[in-house]
């Protein structure tokens, strides 16, 4: 496959748009996933509980997906999935200590 040379890349946003067009929309969604994993592991190994780390990482990825949706880098389904994960993280945070495993 051949791609056009990036002649109109003048800033970070146009660079993201160019890379996202080459990867057919996977670049921004994978960035959100990577930020989620890095945030979760950083918070988890920072001494917090798993439910706290999951809730914080899902909130961070939700904010990031809102920004990428506004910029037109991700599809709305990515935002919907991140909102569902944030809600699940909040529910787990509220009821995680009350449930015995």
List, for residues 17-64, the tens digit of each pLDDT value. 888 888 888 999 999 999 999 999 999 999 999 999 999 999 999 999
From 81, 48, 47, select the one nearest 66 (Cα to Cα): 81
**Residue pair 95/87 in contact by the 8 Å Cβ criterion:** no
Exposed/middle/buried for residue 82 (C-beta within 10 Å: 0-12, 13-18, 19+): buried
Name the pTM for this structure. 0.84
For the chain, counts of helices (H) and of strands (E)? 4, 0
pLDDT digits 0-9 by tens, 81-93: 999 999 999 999 8
């Amino acid at each position: 496959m051949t791609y056009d040379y990036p002649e109109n890349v003048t800033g970070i946003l146009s660079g993201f748009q160019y890379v996202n067009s080459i990867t057919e929309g996977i670049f921004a969604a994978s960035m959100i996933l990577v930020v989620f994993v890095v945030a979760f592991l950083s918070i988890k190994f920072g001494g917090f509980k798993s439910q706290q780390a999951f809730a914080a990482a899902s909130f961070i990825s939700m904010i990031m997906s809102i920004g990428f949706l506004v910029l037109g880098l991700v599809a709305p389904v990515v935002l919907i999935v991140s909102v569902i994960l944030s809600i699940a993280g909040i529910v787990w945070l509220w009821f995680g200590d009350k449930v015995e495993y």
